[in-house]
Amino acid sequence: MEVQTTQSVIRTPEKFLEGVATVIGPDGRADASHDPKLDRALVKKMYVAMVRTRVIDERLVTLQRQGRIGFHIGSLGEEGCILASAAAMRDQDWIFPCYREFGALLWRGMPLQDYVNNMYGNANDPIKGRQMPDHYSGKKYKFGSVSSPIGTQMTQAVGFAWGAKIRKEDLVTSVYFGEGATSSNEFHTAMNFAGVFKTPTVLLCRNNGWAISVPSEKQTASKTFAEKGIAYGVKGIRCDGNDVLAVYKTVREAVERAAAGGGPTLIEMMTYRLSGHSTSDDPRAYRIEDEVTSWRKADPILRLRKHLETLGMITDAEDQKIRDDVDAELKLCIERAEATEKPALSTMFTEVFKDMPQHLQEQFDECAAGPRPKAQH
């Protein structure tokens, strides 16, 4: 059956990226005048991480469709801007995620098994199933917590950076959000605070064209999202979000500026959400397939692969091995996660307060006693 969409304007990559500076050209070669000349091992590491993220993402969607996990929200098509920006942060810096950034958390060192446990909410889930799948966090990895209400992470990242500045720590924070989140109160609060207090923060707006069913041109009357920085005295820059070298360069410069006392930067990373919003969404109801097809050709993984080819740094066999390796590792993680018991009932009450308050103690006791006997009628 033909599905009627609500979309009227198709944004091809050419249209969407008009005037945005890129580094990797269509032939895969880096523009010498903008090439950040990164260590080749780092470029390869980013590629491997992007492919791993893609393979994991696709498998998690399958698991959700099979009813083995309840939900997944992924980063299909956005791996370039997510991984390159995470790679551009220094080890001591903190990252505050939106919800599509599991690739950044793995980049920071969280073992894949821990992430898979989070998807199952089992007893080994670092947050013990207290949240939905894909609501990860990782203090150990200097990685904030995913929170469902749009935009909350922005004020957290700015506040955290302000605290670090007061304590004179050499620390920068970055925060991810979609262009839809620029319509939230939190965006304006965070931008104003960051501008006034010159916090060392890099605000990473993933402009992926859509906020669920709302196209980005209906999100604002501004010409760009980056220019929103002007009103707050915050530097705003756009970059090609599917060009790993362009993202790395832009973010790294912003990190260095922030660390040197130059204040915050708002970076609009132009990219595209190739999948539905989440596994709960069917984008065929609101967007035209031709748009998606045009963006498949601008896939950040294909783009970086072409660049690696020009450097003689990848072969088909090697590429296949990266995919096979993550596939095998993932299979094992899933097997283990499925064999792990659910968290104990008591975990609903523990680890929140140092001393459990009386009202929670009463609820805990009631829960532990099991179901109440049925009332007699």
Ligand X SMILES: Cc1ncc(C[n+]2csc(CCOP(=O)(O)OP(=O)(O)O)c2C)c(N)n1
Q: How far is the CB of 217 from ligand X (least distance, A)?
A: 12
By CB under 6 A, residue 211 contacts ligand X: yes
Is 268 an interacting residue with respect to ligand X (CB under 6 A)? no
| Residue 275 engages ligand X in binding (rule: CB under 6 A) | no
Helix segments in 92-151, DSSP class H: 102-107, 112-120
What is the largest distance, in Å, between two alpha-carbon atoms of the chain? 83
CB count, 10 Å around CB of 229? 23
Site stretch for ligand X (CB under 6 A), options 47-55, 123-131, 204-212, 299-307: 204-212
Active site residue 277: yes
Is 141 an annotated catalytic residue? no
Q: What is the DSSP letter of 24?
A: B
| Residue closer to ligand X (CB basis): 212 or 313 | 212
Residue list 303-342, contact with ligand X (CB under 6 A): none
36 in Cβ contact with 249 (< 8 Å)? yes
89 in Cβ contact with 174 (< 8 Å):
yes
Strands (E), the chain: 94-96, 173-178, 201-207, 210-211, 214-215, 235-240, 265-270
Q: Could you say which of 48, 123, 212, 259 contacts ligand X (CB under 6 A)?
A: 212
* Total residues found in the chain within this entry: 377
Residue 273 engages ligand X in binding (rule: CB under 6 A): yes
Taking CB under 6 A as the rule, does residue 210 contact ligand X? yes
Residue of 47, 99, 232, 286 with catalytic role = 286
DSSP SS3 for 255: helix
Catalytic residue selected from 100, 273, 287, 303: 273
SS3 55: helix
Which of 179, 240 has the CB closer to ligand X? 179
The site string for ligand X over 97-136 (x = CB under 6 A, - otherwise) reads ---x------------------------------------
The CB density around residue 368, as the number of other CB atoms within 10 Å, is 10
Is the CB of residue 265 less than 8 Å from the CB of residue 234? yes
Query: CB nearest ligand X: which residue?
Result: 178
Task: Report, as residue numbers or ranges, the catalytic residues.
Answer: 273, 277, 286
Residues that bind ligand X (CB under 6 A): 100, 148-150, 177-181, 206, 208, 210-212, 273, 277
